[in-house]
Amino acid sequence: MTPQETVERALALPGADDRVVIVDEGSSANLRFAGNTLTTNGVARSARLTVISISGAGVGVVSRSAVRPDQLADVVAAADQAARDAQPSEDARPLVEGFVQADWEVPAEPTSIEVFSAFAPALGEAFATAEASGRKLYGFAEHLVNSVFVGTSGGLRRRYDQPTGRLELNAKSPDMTRSAWAGVATKDFTDVDVAALDGTLARRLDWAKRRVDLPAGRYETILPPGAVSDLMIYLYWSAGARDAADGRTVFAKPGGGTRVGDQLSSTPIQLFSDPRHPGVECVNFAVAHTSGREQSVFDNGLPLDHTNWISDGTLANLIQTRHSAELTGLNTTPQIDNLIMESATGSGTLEDMIANTERGLLLTCLWYIREVDPQSLLLTGLTRDGVYLVEHGEVVGEVNNFRFNESPVDLLGRLTQVGTSEQTLPREWNDYFTRAIMPPIRVPDFNMSTVSQAN
């Protein structure tokens, strides 16, 4: 049974007033390595049917994997029954108006271990080069293809095929005291130059041969695009309109309402999502398997378009469903699976920013980021895999790691330089979010709260 047939058959069964049927077909291939050798690997397939039944304003959701044709009616009946038993849903709205996407009937194309046919030998060569040069390589390469098919009893038929690839490459000295990291997002691994990445890491391990111990404190700090992405993604995830309207987050206005319209930064920052943005294309309609604070099953199929979250430094929109948009009187702006940050006045590469630094720290990435206070969005976490001291425009050595305590919202108001944006791989969040375009930024007083002994 093809995903499209599953959708049609589930919708055709008698029962509920309305239904939304989602089929997710996934395939994956991965290689993991440590100490210049492979450690684990695998390929996997998945197929999940989610039936969302609507009875009056009641909703029932049942999701099952590997459903056979003879089991389909049972899954639908279970969802129908759950809908009849449910309380009325406050996010109930008419289903999104139907149309059939032109490529609806095209079969899904899975990935396989063959996606690494050129990459794996190159990785093997990198292992040999690293071993000969006294470096150990660690990391992970993964390729996923997820195809989602959404159909509704209102006639909507939409699908999207999402390839997602990522490579994390970590080089360490044999005694594990020096460490450097690089990561790339890719659609198919044909554009991954593992030798070049290894060369970059080798240079950074050389930087780390001179060690400079610094105490905790506030430092002028250059954050590369990857580190910026991890902070901005957390800001984005915290931008739910309902939580803001309820007073729970940094985007709540004291006394009630949201901070939409507030200036967060005097720098003309743009933070936006766009499912058609080149290089980070992603699903261009809403997909919700269950309702929650920031998504509604009734919005399934809703078109997604360019959405500004911060425009010229001012908070422009929050993550909304149609229901929460009505409650807050703001735009319907659902979450989108990519994030882009730019500045109209931003220019210069990371190297340019290093060259223009009298004395400061250069980070590689941030790690174990957790929220300390939702009211200020204070986050804590660690620096990782290379904190470098920059003096007179050059990297002069490696500094110890730190625990930081910082709010990304507060940082937007304090940054003094924004460079040119580029596609990057978030280090902390790439299990969940890989499509990001971010600039390097300079912060004059990044709060390094305490020293971490970790290498």
Partner 1 sequence: MRQIDPDFLALPLRRLADAALNRARELGAEYAAFRVERVRAETLRLFDARLEGSIDADDLGFAVRVVKNGTWGFAAGIALTPEAAVAVAEQAVQVAEVSAPINREPVELAPEPVYADVTWVSAYDVDPFDVPLREKVELLGEWSGGLLGQVDHVSASLMQVKEQKFYADSAGTVTTQQRVRVHPQLTAMKGDGERFDDMRTLAPPVGRGYEYLTGTGWDFPAELATLPALLAEKLAAPSVESGKYDLVVDPSNLWLTIHESIGHATELDRALGYEAAYAGTSFATFDQLGELTYGSKIMNVTGDRTAEHGLATVGWDDEGVRAQSFDIVTDGTLTGYQLDRRMALLKGFGRSNGCAFADSPGHPPIQRMANVSLRPAEGGPSTDELIAGVENGIYVLGDKSWSIDMQRYNFQFTGQRFYRISGGKLAGQLRDVAYQATTTDFWRSMDAVGGPQTYVLGGAFNCGKGQPGQVAPVSHGCPAARFRNVRILNTVQEGGK
Interface characters, 306-345, with partner 1 (x: CB under 8 A): ----------------------------------------
Residue 381 binds partner 1 (CB under 8 A): yes
C-beta of 57: minimal distance to partner 1 in Å? 11
Q: Is 30 helix (H, G, I), strand (E, B) or coil?
A: strand
- Which position has the token pair 């909703």? 59
Among residues 347, 372, 393, 416, which is the contact residue for partner 1, using CB under 8 A? 372
Q: Report DSSP state, residue 114.
A: G
**Encoded amino acid at 448, one letter:** M
240-269 residues near partner 1, rule: CB under 8 A: 246-248, 252, 254-255
Closest listed residue to residue 148, CA positions, set 282, 28, 280: 282
Residue 172 binds partner 1 (CB under 8 A): yes
Q: Is 306 helix (H, G, I), strand (E, B) or coil?
A: coil
Residue 28 binds partner 1 (CB under 8 A): yes
Nearer Cβ to partner 1, position 52 or 330? 52
Among residues 4, 6, 36, 238, which is the contact residue for partner 1, using CB under 8 A? 36
C-beta of 296: minimal distance to partner 1 in Å? 9
Residue 62 binds partner 1 (CB under 8 A): yes
Residue 5 binds partner 1 (CB under 8 A): no
Residue 120 binds partner 1 (CB under 8 A): yes
Residue 415 binds partner 1 (CB under 8 A): no
Residue 74 binds partner 1 (CB under 8 A): no
321 neighbors 334 (Cβ within 8 angstroms): yes
- For partner 1 (CB under 8 A), the number of binding residues is 94
C-beta of 412: minimal distance to partner 1 in Å? 13
Dihedral Cα 196, 202, 207, 210, nearest 10 deg: 180
CA distance 221 to 353: 10
Closest listed residue to residue 189, CA positions, set 318, 31, 312: 31
Residue 42 binds partner 1 (CB under 8 A): yes
Residue 431 binds partner 1 (CB under 8 A): yes
Closest listed residue to residue 295, CA positions, set 79, 8, 61: 61
Residue 300 binds partner 1 (CB under 8 A): no
Residue 2 binds partner 1 (CB under 8 A): no
Among residues 9, 32, 253, 322, which is the contact residue for partner 1, using CB under 8 A? 32
Residue 61 binds partner 1 (CB under 8 A): yes
Residue 358 binds partner 1 (CB under 8 A): no
Residue 215 binds partner 1 (CB under 8 A): no
Residue 164 binds partner 1 (CB under 8 A): no
CA distance 253 to 372: 19
Strands 401-406 and 378-391: antiparallel
Residue 173 binds partner 1 (CB under 8 A): no
C-beta of 42: minimal distance to partner 1 in Å? 4
Residue 378 binds partner 1 (CB under 8 A): yes
C-beta of 349: minimal distance to partner 1 in Å? 26
Closest listed residue to residue 75, CA positions, set 23, 125, 2: 23
In 130-266, where do the E strands start and end? 136-152, 157-172, 179-186, 211-212, 217-223
CA distance 364 to 204: 10
**Burial class of residue 132, CB neighbours in 10 A (0-12, 13-18, 19+):** exposed
Residue 37 binds partner 1 (CB under 8 A): yes
**Encoded amino acid at 247, one letter:** G
Among residues 43, 77, 214, 325, which is the contact residue for partner 1, using CB under 8 A? 43
Residue 118 binds partner 1 (CB under 8 A): no
State the DSSP string of 218-238: EEEEEEPHHHHHHHHHHHHHT
Please, which residues have CB within 8 angstroms of residue 189's CB and are 6 or more apart in sequence?
115, 116, 118, 119, 141, 143, 165, 167
